[in-house]
Chain A
Amino acid sequence: MSKLSYVRTEMLPEQAPPVAQAGIVKWLRENLFSSIPNSILTLASLAFLYVILSHVLPWMFQSSWTANSLSECRSMIAAAYGEGTHGACWAVIRERFLQLVFGFYPAELYWRPIVAFILMLVALAPVLFDKLPRKMLWFSAIFPFLCFWLLWGGSIWVPIVALAGFVLGGVAYALIGAKFGNLPATIAAFLVPVLWWLLLANPVSNGLHSIIPLGLEAVESAKFGGFMLSVLIGITGIVMSLPIGVLLALGRQSDLLIVKAICVGFIEFIRGVPLITLLFVASVLLNYFLPPGTTFDIILRVIIMVTLFASAYMAEVIRGGLAALPKGQYEGADSLGLDFWQSTRLIIMPQALKISIPSIVSTFIGLFKDTVLVSIIGLLDPIGLTTNIRADAAWNGIIWELYGFIALVFFIFCFSMSRYSMYLERKLQTSH
């Protein structure tokens, strides 16, 4: 009976966790050959890999970088590696590299997109990495206008006057908010800039330009192309679709019936229509609705459509994040006296966005890849350019090299986004 009573005389000290047993053989055993079916699968996979690589690798490396046409390529490869060798003709990438990157942008002005790209990295950095000084965000805010000016050129007053619209909106919000309260201020903050852009922006910038003519040589949209175009459409869409998606998601939850109806209608309509249709609307139909004589840049129209399309998806993704938040978070914020926008901005959105990071990034990646669809309405993104290049007698018949290269570049962009999202998720992990 004495077994029943037990008193520990000494408490156990803490010990370090056992070190995982090392050794490559042990690892192989455990992971690849742990059982007979597992071993069979391992061997089959290895055989499969071998078959693939034994074809692809020689093709990739028994190649030509220097030829100036496909036939020259073929003969060079045959001379170097023997008759009948199939090798890649990377020469097309070398010869058309600048075109694939810049489209038909004037060669002497290449510095402008390059500067814009570098500045874009600078502008994105403080948004992506919160360790950087917050003051850099001011640059991020003006960058879109600077970028627009660098790429399209023209009078410097156009972007400055456009930027002034936002400033005016902010001023209107502050002035009217102090006097008449929140709702009128919000409406004014929306209306004032729109009226400014529609009615005053043009005459004002023309006037300013005639006084102080400062500007860069203008480049028309038809000359834009290549990865520059993809990045331009993709990044603008990504950057704009997130805030619009947030507003739509909030609107969908709103108690204001009209706001809610508009948001639901917009989201459901846009999600229910293929992107291609929207792009055709942008390229053809929109002209009918605009007052005659107005020219509305095609790239701008496409960017708007792509942004709207992504925003609708973004709104639903964020709604999922909002739905996953416990009600207690709203109540905690309310009980402290935070108003709607404060609690949304400080408590609700940071958490909802964090929950939705994986889906948000998926939407971004989808959007970025969807930019190749603009080739269908005749814009010269890399896919659009392939048609051009292959129509050239010298490169007639080339397929894999071009598409493979484009795929690789897209993969690098998309994979970076995916890695960044994983970094962000790890960084925002606060539970332990």
Chain B
Amino acid sequence: MANAKKMDVSDEVAIQIEKMNKWYGSFHVLKDIDLTVYRGERIVICGPSGSGKSTLIRCINALEEHQQGKITVDGTHLSSDLKNIDAIRSEVGMCFQHFNLFPHLSILENCTLAPIWVRKIPKKEAEETAMHFLEKVKIPDQALKYPGQLSGGQQQRVAIARSLCMQPRIMLFDEPTSALDPEMIKEVLDTMIELAEEGMTMLCVTHEMGFARQVANRVIFMDAGQIVEQNEPEEFFNNPQSERTQLFLSQILGH
């Protein structure tokens, strides 16, 4: 599996964040964030709860608005222009902690909705693509069921397939396994590992350190709205530099 890490990271920039600041009211959530993500990179973001990890990746597809600084995704500058936002969102897939599947649509419809309406792909073709990705996440047999009839792990895999159906160039994950029962975490992580091996550019908020070691080329540690430390996984886990990182790692890796 370690071959995932050997994959070449190109020097083409996928996401560029420069001096980005964000406030909720008067609360300064993100402070001077600078981050460059290259195509094919797999980045794991960790940090204590409330440190701004979700807010950061939600700024990348404009689910949250930032107030200062510049975000460029795939060469498109993220401004308040709705056209740009919709363009970026259709290039960037996102998986949420609580899946956010559409409960009134079948699994297949969940997967074909955006391709049909946003990409204007004919229904038949969209369904074929959807079945392809549902096979990839290993639940083609559930295609006609509704989200409420699936287990959490299955729902998250559907959510991944749903994003993939838009053929995104970048995938964002916000704690995709933290709402899952332990026995289902692996099936979701396996899907993500497979995706990483295919060279997908991924930004992943997660506390699954095994996953980070296995697939990440970079681990970023955030605290209090800032990037405190970033490094290759081996270095990051074995030799953390900042005190905050050391404290955090000792807390989550056990005593």
Contact = CB atoms under 8 A, between A and B. Distances in A.
Interface of A: 326, 328-329, 331-339, 342, 346-347, 350-351, 354, 428, 430-432
B102 A335 contact: no
A342 B118 CA distance: 9
Nearest to A430: B146
Interface residues of B, number: 29
Given A331-B63, A428-B104, A432-B148, A338 B118 contact: yes
B146 A342 contact: no
Interface of B: 61, 63, 82, 86-87, 89-90, 92-94, 96, 98-104, 113-114, 117-118, 146-149, 162-163, 166
Interface of A: prevailing SS: helix
A343 B86 CA distance: 12
B90 A332 contact: no
Contact of A337 (B89, B102, B147): B89
A336 B104 contact: no
A430 B100 contact: no
Contact of B100 (A331, A339, A346): A331
Contacts of B101: 332
A184 to B, nearest CB: 14
Contact of A336 (B82, B87, B118, B148): B118
Contacts, number: 73
A336 B166 contact: yes
Interface centre among B99, B117, B147, B149 (most CB of A within 10 A): B117
A286 to B, nearest CB: 41
A331 B163 CA distance: 13
Contacts of A339: 82, 86
Contacts of A332: 96, 100-102
B146 A336 contact: no
A48 to B, nearest CB: 44
B86 to A, nearest CB: 5
A351 B166 CA distance: 23
Contact of A351 (B87, B104, B117, B149): B104
Nearest to B94: A335
Contacts of B90: 336-337
A347 B148 contact: no
Nearest to B102: A347
A153 to B, nearest CB: 43
Contacts of A329: 100, 102
A127 B114 CA distance: 25
The 4 closest A-B pairs by CB, nearest first: A337-B90, A332-B100, A431-B148, A336-B114
